[in-house]
Amino acid sequence: MTNPQQDSLLQQLEKMSSESRHPDTWDLDQLSSLDIVKKINQQDQTVATSVAACLEQVAIVTDKIVDAFQQGGRLVYLGAGTSGRLGILDAVECPPTYSVPASQVVALIAGGDNAVYKAVEGAEDNPDLAVTDLKNIDFNKHDILVGIAASGRTPYVLGGLAYARSIGAYTAAISCNADAAVLAAADCGICAVVGAEVVTGSTRMKAGTAQKMILNMLTTAAMVRCGKVYQNLMVDLHASNEKLEARAVRIVMQATDCPADTARHALIAANNSAKLAILHILTGDDISRCQQKLQLNGDSIRQALTA
C-alpha cells in the first residue's frame, strides 16, 4: 500500500535533526525518575550554546522590530502547536511588563484560540488559513512577521510568510533544523540547531526551550531599544495589582536611591508612572516638564537626562 504524500513527509522527517533518535537516551524507559531528569537536564544545558550561534540574526530581527514599532507597525508571531503557544506566551507578557497596547505584539496560532488548549486537526497543514488569519488582523507592510516552526516545514507558517512578503512586509523565521523551508521563505532566518530530543520528536523540549529563549530576546531587546528600560529596570511596567504596585515603588527607589515614602509620593504625582516618577526625582522638574522631556526624547529616561 503506497501513500505518496506520507512518503514525502517521512523523507522530510528523516532529514531533520530534531526528529532523530538521541544515542544517549535509548534506555530512557529503563531509568529511575532521578536518572531520567538528569538526562533531560544534561540535554537542556546544550540549548543556550545552540542559541548563541544565531545571535547575529536575532539582533538583525530586533532592529527590524524597533523600526516597525517606530513607524506604528506591529510584531506578529505565527506558529502552530507548541511554537504557536510560545508566541502567545511572549506576546501576552509585553503589555504588563512594558505598558504597550495588546495590539503591538500579536500572536496567531493555527486553529485559533481553541488550539491553545487542544490541537485542531489539520490546521497547521493549511497555508491558506494563515493568510486568512493575517488578513483578519489587517496585517500590512508596516508590520513584521516572525514565523515560528521547530521543524521548519509547517505549511501554516510557510503560507503566512509568503503572504507577508507578497505585500512588502519584513519577515523572519525561527527554526531548529538547518536548511529548513521556513528559513529560506523569510527575509531573515534564525536557526538554533538543538539536535535530537531526549524523547524522539518531542520538540516541546529542547527546541521549545530554544524558541522561548529567542522570543524572550526579540521582545526584551526591542523594548530596551525603545526606551522601556532604564539601566536594567522595567520602568514602564503596568502596576495592575498589589505586587506590581510594590514593584513600581521598588523600581523608583532603585533608580533614584530614594526612600520608599519619596517613591510613593512621586508615583502618586506621576499617576503611577514609574518612568515619570524617576525623572521627577532625578531632575527636580515638575511632572508636566518631565512629560515634555520624555516626549522630546523618544520616551527614554536616559535620553531625557542627557539631552
Per-residue pLDDT, 60: 98
Q: What does the DSSP 8-state code read for residue 197? A: B
Q: Is the pLDDT of residue 20 over 70?
A: no
In the block, cell 523551508 appears at 181
The strand order across the sheet containing 170-175 reads: 105-109, 75-79, 144-148, 170-175, 188-191
Please state the rounded mean pLDDT for residues 206-220. Answer: 97
Mean pLDDT of the chain: 92
pLDDT of residue 201: 84
50 contacts 194 by C-beta, under 8 angstroms: yes
pLDDT per residue over 157-205, tens digit each? 999 999 999 999 999 999 999 989 999 999 999 999 999 999 988 889 9
pLDDT of residue 4: 66
Highest mean pLDDT among 61-65, 151-155, 233-237: 61-65
| Angle at the Cα of 151 from the Cα atoms of 149 and 153, rounded to 5 degrees | 80
Query: Degrees (nearest 5) of the Cα angle 214, 68, 229?
Result: 60
Residue 103 and residue 74 in contact, taking contact as beta carbons nearer than 8 Å: yes
Q: Does residue 7 have a pLDDT over 60?
A: no
Residues paired with 173 in a beta bridge = 147, 189
93, 197, 242, 245: the active-site residue: 93
Place of cell 511632572: 287
Least confident of 114-123, 263-272, 286-295: 114-123
Q: Is 257 exposed, middle or buried (0-12, 13-18, 19+ CB in 10 A)?
A: exposed
Catalytic residue among 14, 56, 124, 242: 124
Burial 12-39 (b: 16+ CB within 10 A, else e): beeebebbeebeebeeeeeeeeeebeeb
For residue 178, what pLDDT is reported? 92
Across the chain, the runs of DSSP E, i.e. the strands, are 75-79, 105-109, 144-148, 170-175, 188-191
Whole-number Å distance between alpha carbons of 299 and 288? 14
Residue 267 reports pLDDT greater than 70: yes
204 class by beta-carbon count within 10 Å (0-12 exposed, 13-18 middle, 19+ buried): middle
Q: Does the pLDDT at position 303 exceed 90?
A: yes
Q: What are phi and psi of 299, to 5 degrees?
A: 65, 25
Whether the pLDDT of residue 10 is over 70: the answer is no
d(CA 274, CA 263) in angstroms, rounded, equals 9
Q: Per residue in 99-149, pLDDT tens?
A: 999 999 999 999 999 999 988 878 898 999 999 999 999 999 999 999 999
Q: What is the pLDDT of residue 29?
A: 86
For the range 87-93, what are the long-range contacts, defined as Cβ-Cβ under 8 Å and sequence gap of 24 or more?
Answer: 87/146, 87/148, 87/215, 88/116, 89/212, 89/215, 90/212, 90/215, 90/216, 90/218, 90/219, 93/219
* Contact between 273 and 294 (Cβ < 8 Å): no
Query: Is the model's pLDDT at 297 over the cut of 80?
Result: yes
Phi, psi of 76 (to 5 degrees): -120, 125
Res 254: pLDDT = 97
Confidence band of 19 (pLDDT split at 50, 70, 90):
low
Using pLDDT thresholds of 50, 70 and 90, give the confidence band for residue 54. very high
What is the tens place of the pLDDT at every residue in 270-282? 999 999 999 999 9
Q: Which of 156, 153, 208 is nearest to 183 (CA)?
A: 153
Give, as one character, the DSSP assignment of residue 282: H
Which pLDDT belongs to residue 11? 60
Residue 47, pLDDT above cutoff 80: yes
pTM higher than 0.95? no
pLDDT band per the 50, 70, 90 thresholds, residue 14: low
Q: Is 93 known to be catalytic?
A: yes
**More confidently predicted of 10 and 298:** 298
Please name each of the domains of the chain with its CATH number: 47-225 (3.40.50.10490), 242-306 (1.10.8.1080)
222 vs 201, residue with greater confidence: 222
Least confident of 45-59, 115-129, 209-223: 115-129
* 19 catalytic per annotation: no
Backbone angles phi, psi at 171, to 5 degrees: -130, 145
